[in-house]
Chains A and B, each alone.
Chain A
Amino acid sequence: AQKVTQAQTEISVVEKEDVTLDCVYETRDTTYYLFWYKQPPSGELVFLIRRNSFDEQNEISGRYSWNFQKSTSSFNFTITASQVVDSAVYFCALQPTGANNLFFGTGTRLTVIP
C-alpha cells in the first residue's frame, strides 16, 4: 500500500523565517518518484519538484530546498527566508514506478505573516 503522511496540518511563520515542511512516505516498491506541489489560495496545483528514489542528493532551487532521506522514508521541503507569497497549501506525493497516478498527502497549510 502507498501512503504519504504530512503530519503538520498548519504552520505559521513570520516573514523571513525559514520553515521546513515534513513528508513521510510508505511504499513497498523499490523504485518510485516523490513530488511536491503548491496550491496557492487561487486553487491551482503548481508542480515544484520530482525526485527519483535512486537520487538521494539534496536539491536547491532558489529559496527552496529538498532533503530526501531514504533511510527514514522522508522527503522534507525547506523554504528559506519565507515570503508572504509562499502562503499556500503544500502537498507531498508519491508515485511508484509503473503506477499511473500520484498518492497525495493531506497537505500542510503554510501561512507567512508579514
Chain B
Amino acid sequence: DSGVTQTPKHLITATGQRVTLRCSPRSGDLSVYWYQQSLDQGLQFLIHYYNGEERAKGNILERFSAQQFPDLHSELNLSSLELGDSALYFCASSTYSDTEAFFGQGTRLTVV
C-alpha cells in the first residue's frame, strides 16, 4: 500500500458528462501529480500541484482541470467526456518536487 488513496476505483459514464476524480496524498506529502495511462498514449503526465499551487502542466486537455485543496487532497475534473478519455488515471504524491513519487491504485474511467 503506497499510502496514496484514489476514489473511485472504477467509473463508467456517458459521453458529454463530467466526472471528478479524487486523490488523497500520503501523509506529509506536499506534491500531487496526475497521470493518464491509455493504450495508445502510454503513461502521460497531466498536471502537478505543490502545496496548493499549480506547478506544471503536461498533456492536459482544456476540458480537464485540477486543484489541490488546503488539506492537500486533489481533484481532477474531466468534462465533456469523449470515448477517447477512457483510461486509467493515476495520482501520485511526493514529499517535495524532487523526491520519489508514490502512486495510488488509479481510477479506471470508462466512457460509453
Binding site for B on A (CB under 8 A): 33, 35, 37, 42-47, 50, 91, 93, 95, 97-104, 106-107
Distance, CA A103 to CA B41, complexed state (A): 12
B100 within 8 A of A: yes
Q: B1-37 interface mask toward A, CB cutoff 8 Å, 1 = contact, 0 = none?
A: 0100000000000000000000000000000010100
Number of A-B contacts (CB under 8 A): 53
Which label, helix, strand, loop or mixed, suits the secondary structure of the B interface? strand
Q: Which residues of B contact A (CB under 8 A)?
A: 2, 33, 35, 42-43, 45, 48, 55-56, 58, 88, 90, 92, 97-98, 100-106, 108
- The CA of A2 and the CA of B57, in the complex, are separated in Å by 16
Contact A91/B43 with A44-B104, A44-B106, A97-B98 known, Cβ cut-off 8 Å:
yes
Question: Given A43-B108, A45-B90, A107-B42, do A100 and B48 touch, yes or no (CB 8 Å)?
Answer: yes
B88 near A35 (CB under 8 angstroms)? Answer: no
